[in-house]
Amino acid sequence: MNAFYMPTRVICGRGCVREQGALLDPLGRHALIVTGKSSSKNGALDDLLFALEANGQDGTVYDRVTPNPTVGCVREGLSLLRSAGCDFVVAIGGGSPMDAAKMIALLALQDREDEELFSGGYEPKALPMAHIPTTAGTGSEVTPYAILTNEEQTTKTSISSPAMFPRIAFLDGGYTDQLPEAITKNTAMDAFSHAAEGILSRNSIPLSDVLAKESLRLLYPLLTSLSKGMPTARERDELLYASMLAGMTIAQSGTTAIHGMGYYLTYFYGVDHGRANGLLLGEMLRLCERKNLPQLDEICTACGVSRAEEICALLSELLGEREKISEEELERFAVMAQKNKNIKKSRYEPSLEDLRVIYLRSFGYSC
């Protein structure tokens, strides 16, 4: 028994927000536009306002979303949505504005106390949303997940509801043209990790594997090219498309131990989310190779390489110098990560010792 569900309408192409802006019309009359301070300074906000005006819709901007958004940020946006009388939500940005927007749209129709936010069991209803990604990595524009900083658990926690699938995703590679090198690389590694984790997930289905392999087939040469210099406009478009495919993948399969482990690097050391996945992925692939996981061969074949070592080398090239984190800290993360729900979603479920080895080797310690 398996299920595939991907209700988001995906529009791809430069200029698509203006050209296909009429698709926003059925969503509501007044949009809360959820974005970060710089997330929309790439033409996306202008294009959106143009489209809303053409439809006779209003828009109120909430631009205070920070990286790794907090419950406080979601509350602030929700409060603005209510005072302005918004009836739909448009997100512009990377994963942070998109995830904050999802929680705002969800809570707008079913509010809860802060301490209940992470306990699940949401009703399948949320305000309608459109998402405009401005980085090529998160894939959040086509997933039902929102990941928020969870202070109580000292990590980031994913909240899932089918109601959080955006109605529409507008993919315009032009919004990513000016992204700096570090963000471009980190987000690309995030997308690559989503596609690889989709294949390594216990919850993968045949159709998520098809999407994951197509994503890897496109991403591997793009990452190789990124390791040599900044991408062309065409490569930007392909990165955005491939990251969306990886998002469609994890919308079915979920993520695995990599994401579960990476959240601690982000929470405690502020390591960028995509980079955190990139830092850990190589050692996870090596572990899968030692365990003779057949899915590892599928990943290699999709990438067009014969051994995982080639992928590890490429990731190292992209990562450059690694953060300095003490052995004690990494040992502590291994213990914490063991309880993370994503660990059990891995097809090969890493033991505490496996987690130790991955964390330590990922930061240059031999063990």
* Whole-Å CA distances, 209 to 227, 245, 318: 26, 11, 25
For a second copy, the closer of residues 205 and 305 by Cβ is 205
For a second copy, the closer of residues 50 and 269 by Cβ is 50
For residue 206, the minimal CB distance to a second copy (Å) is 7
Rg (CA), the chain: 19
Strands (DSSP E) contained in 55-125 are 58-65, 88-93
* Whole-Å CA distances, 295 to 10, 53, 196, 248, 292: 28, 49, 9, 19, 9
Cα–Cα distance for residue pair 277/181, rounded to 1 Å: 17
For a second copy, the closer of residues 62 and 165 by Cβ is 165
Q: How many other C-beta atoms lie within 10 A of the C-beta of residue 123?
A: 10
The encoded tokens of residue 144 equal 């039902």
For residue 120, the minimal CB distance to a second copy (Å) is 18
β 58-65/88-93 pair status? unpaired
The encoded tokens of residue 145 equal 């997940």
**Is 63 in a helix, a strand, or coil?**
strand
The encoded tokens of residue 32 equal 């809360």
For residue 94, the minimal CB distance to a second copy (Å) is 21
For residue 211, the minimal CB distance to a second copy (Å) is 7
For residue 213, the minimal CB distance to a second copy (Å) is 9
For a second copy, the closer of residues 23 and 45 by Cβ is 23
For residue 64, the minimal CB distance to a second copy (Å) is 32
Q: What angle do CA 211, 212, 218 make, to 5 degrees?
A: 90
For residue 367, the minimal CB distance to a second copy (Å) is 41
For a second copy, the closer of residues 210 and 233 by Cβ is 210
For a second copy, the closer of residues 125 and 339 by Cβ is 125
Contact between 117 and 158 under an 8 Å Cβ cutoff? The reply is no
The residues of the shown chain that bind a second copy, judged by CB under 8 A, are: 1-7, 9-13, 15-16, 19-20, 26, 124, 205-207, 210-211, 214, 241, 245
- Nearest-10 crossing angle of helices 181-200, 257-269: 150
Cα–Cα distance for residue pair 230/176, rounded to 1 Å: 12
For a second copy, the closer of residues 4 and 269 by Cβ is 4
